[in-house]
């Protein structure tokens, strides 16, 4: 395949490396010591040294990336017939002490971490000119940093964009959880080390400063602007240090800059040691995201999410809108919500049964019964109007309470869906109103018919005692005598003299 054709397929990205003990201007620090995986005492065979690659196997297709320690070229693999990323040590650093072992250690570590969000390593060997190189998957996509920057160039960030970028961060959490299960901590999680591919695939890059569990801590390992306090102080890292890195990535999504916006590496490391972070200002962000971010960025590791998987679950719940729902219990007969009240939450029935009803003319009109898995109260939240019905527990009931903020976060992330649901809720309320109006008119007509029948049977030309008739019609019904009187007073065919306590059929003039 011609090199020019391959080079035209950019933008392409792959892992970058930093030279040992030489921070880059961005504050990247050195890779860790070579992997202890080669120790025969761990039950594995002793690792081999890399052998020369077959002459002519890889055809150079142009430079696609550079780091402090390495360069990355696209290359066509003539043995397997595919284009790969070929990473090699910079010629100027080939003979520097510690560079070759660190290069090989990173390649072996990445080969060990077989996960969909970690770039797979295909081969390691020596190039024709001597330095070691590593063949791996060529990633086509853009960094999360680029996508965040692009989003912030808009006047406001659509909630759909937040959902998409948070979805990528969710996959980073999955990759970290896998690495942590192998005793490996990335130690340099940041938006520039995350690639989002052309088809939604996500890769966490640059494992050059990763540390293994049990290895003596080193001070200042990572990127200063995103670094946890324990990394800055050299007190030791664990899974919670990478949780901090994910929090720093979310921070940049919210604020469009790193948690420590310092002018120099020295200032950034000082801020990292003290964890001096200003809460992000993000008025258009989904409610609750800043709180989630700041918990991940807590100075004390014990105050953060305790694992990448816990943070992943929290992010997933945030995207689904199911975070932190309270649980409430109601006894049989207990009123859960009342018609006409303002609404700040909806409910999901966990157990038990409820009755939904509305009142008209003092009469309760049952609408429906709701059992486990059923929901109610959402109409008032969607429409912003008072509650349209009352709900009473028929049996002992346990409900999950969904606050308005959860609706704003989850429904807002799919705003067009929210618009449809709100329209549907309005139509549902209108339908209930029509049904209740018909029921009320029917009940009023029945009272009027009974009153006319009583007047025809027992009344005189002067009429019948009004109060006695109202009491008679109310007996055995859910209406009071006053309710009956209110219905009769609206009937044109009846003549009522309340002062004289008389009611009669109105005579035609």
Catalytic residues: 188
Q: How many CB atoms lie within 10 A of CB 491?
A: 16
Locate the domains of the chain by residue range.
Answer: 3-141, 142-320, 326-413, 436-505
Q: Into which CATH architecture does domain 142-320 fall?
A: Orthogonal Bundle (1.10)
Give the pLDDT score at 424: 63
Average pLDDT over the chain, rounded to whole?
A: 82
Overall fold of domain 326-413:
Jelly Rolls (2.60.120)
SS percent in the chain: helix, strand, coil, step 5 = 40, 20, 40
Q: What's the predicted TM-score (pTM) here?
A: 0.63
> What dihedral angle (degrees, nearest 10) is formed by the CA atoms of 259, 260, 265, 266?
-140
Nearest of 213, 161, 196, 189 to residue 308 by alpha carbon: 189
Q: Does the structure show a pLDDT above 60 at 36?
A: no
Distance from chain centroid for Cα 98: 42
Nearest of 354, 337, 361, 356 to residue 439 by alpha carbon: 361
pLDDT band at 278 (very low <50, low <70, confident <90, very high): very high
Helix (H, G, I), strand (E, B) or coil at 278: coil
Distance from chain centroid for Cα 239: 21
Residue 501 backbone zone (phi > 0: left; psi -120 to 50: alpha; other: beta): left
Q: Does the structure show a pLDDT above 60 at 35?
A: no
Tokens representing 32 are 């860790």
Per-residue pLDDT tens over the stretch 338-369: 998 988 888 988 889 999 998 876 778 888 89
What percent of the chain shows pLDDT beyond 90? Answer: 34
What percent of the chain shows pLDDT beyond 70? Answer: 81
SS (H, E, C) 112-148: HCCCCCCCCEEEEEECCCCCEEEEEECEEEEEHHHHH
Where are the alpha helices (H) located in 277-369, listed in sequence order? 289-296, 308-320
Q: Does the structure show a pLDDT above 90 at 285?
A: no
Domain 3-141 and domain 326-413, same fold? Reply is no
Helix (H, G, I), strand (E, B) or coil at 225: helix
Give the pLDDT score at 5: 33
How far apart are the C-alpha atoms of 42 and 34, rounded to whole Å? 15
Strands of the 202-204 sheet, one edge to the other? 12-13, 139-143, 194-197, 202-204
Give the pLDDT score at 462: 73
Question: What's domain 3-141's superfamily in CATH?
Answer: Phosphorylase Kinase; domain 1 (3.30.200.20)
Lowest-confidence pick of 228-232, 305-309, 452-456:
452-456
DSSP assignment of 465-508: EHHHHHHHHHTTSSS-HHHHHHHHTT-TTEEEETTTTEEEEPPP
Per-residue pLDDT tens over the stretch 434-458: 666 676 777 778 888 888 888 887 7
How far apart are the C-alpha atoms of 92 and 70, rounded to whole Å? 10
Give the pLDDT score at 388: 84
Per-residue pLDDT tens over the stretch 380-389: 777 777 888 8
Give the pLDDT score at 399: 87
Per-residue pLDDT tens over the stretch 75-104: 998 888 999 999 988 888 888 888 888 888
Handedness of CA 244, 246, 249, 255 (dihedral sign): negative
Instruction: Confirm if 123 and 104 have CB atoms less than 8 A apart.
Output: no
- Per the model's pLDDT, the better-predicted residue between 262 and 443 turns out to be 262
pLDDT band at 233 (very low <50, low <70, confident <90, very high): very high
């Amino acid at each position: 395949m011609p090199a020019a054709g391959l080079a035209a397929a950019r933008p392409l990205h792959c892992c970058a490396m930093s030279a040992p003990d030489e921070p880059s201007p961005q504050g990247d620090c050195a890779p860790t010591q070579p992997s202890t995986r080669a120790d025969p005492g761990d039950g594995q065979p002793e690792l081999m040294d890399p052998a020369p690659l077959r002459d002519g196997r890889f055809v150079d297709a142009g430079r696609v990336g550079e780091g402090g320690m390495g360069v990355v070229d696209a290359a066509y693999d003539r043995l397997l017939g595919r284009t790969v990323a070929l990473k090699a040590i910079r010629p100027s650093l080939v003979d520097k002490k510690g560079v070759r072992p660190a290069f090989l250690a990173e390649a072996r570590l990445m080969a060990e971490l077989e996960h969909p969000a970690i770039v797979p390593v295909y081969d390691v060997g020596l190039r024709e000119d001597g330095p070691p190189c590593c063949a791996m998957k060529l990633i086509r996509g853009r960094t999360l940093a680029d996508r965040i920057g692009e989003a912030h160039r808009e006047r406001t960030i659509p909630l759909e964009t937040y959902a998409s970028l948070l979805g990528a961060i969710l996959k980073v959490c999955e990759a970290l959880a896998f690495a942590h299960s192998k005793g490996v901590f990335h130690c340099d999680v940041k938006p520039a080390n995350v690639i989002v591919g052309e088809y939604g695939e996500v890769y966490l890059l640059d494992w050059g400063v990763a540390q293994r569990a049990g290895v003596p801590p080193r001070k200042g390992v990572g990127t200063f602007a995103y670094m946890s306090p324990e990394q800055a102080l050299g007190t030791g890292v664990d899974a919670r240090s990478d949780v901090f890195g994910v929090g720093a990535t979310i921070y940049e999504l919210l604020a469009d800059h790193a948690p420590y916006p310092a002018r120099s590496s020295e200032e950034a490391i000082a801020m990292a040691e003290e964890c001096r972070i200003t809460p992000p200002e993000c008025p258009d962000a989904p409610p609750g995201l800043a709180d989630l971010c700041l918990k991940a960025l807590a100075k004390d590791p014990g105050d953060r999410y305790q694992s990448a998987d816990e943070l992943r679950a929290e992010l997933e719940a945030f995207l689904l809108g199911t975070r932190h729902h309270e649980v409430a219990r109601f006894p049989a007969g207990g009123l859960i919500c009342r018609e006409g009240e303002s609404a700040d939450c909806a409910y999901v029935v966990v157990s038990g049964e409820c009755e939904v009803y509305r009142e008209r003319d003092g009469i309760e009109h049952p609408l429906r019964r709701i059992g486990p898995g059923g929901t109610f109260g959402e109409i008032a939240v969607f429409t912003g109007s008072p509650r349209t019905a009352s709900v009473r527990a028929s049996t002992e009931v346990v409900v999950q309470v969904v606050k308005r903020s959860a609706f704003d976060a989850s429904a807002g992330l799919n705003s067009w869906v929210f618009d449809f649901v709100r329209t549907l809720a309005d139509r549902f309320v209108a339908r209930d109103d029509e049904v209740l109006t018909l029921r009320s008119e029917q009940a009023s007509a029945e009272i009027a018919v009974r009153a006319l029948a009583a007047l025809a049977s027992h009344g005189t030309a002067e009429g019948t005692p009004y109060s006695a008739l109202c009491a008679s019609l109310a007996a055995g019904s859910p209406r009071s005598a006053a309710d009956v009187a209110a219905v009769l007073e609206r009937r044109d065919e009846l003549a009522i003299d309340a002062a004289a306590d008389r009611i009669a059929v109105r005579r035609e003039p």
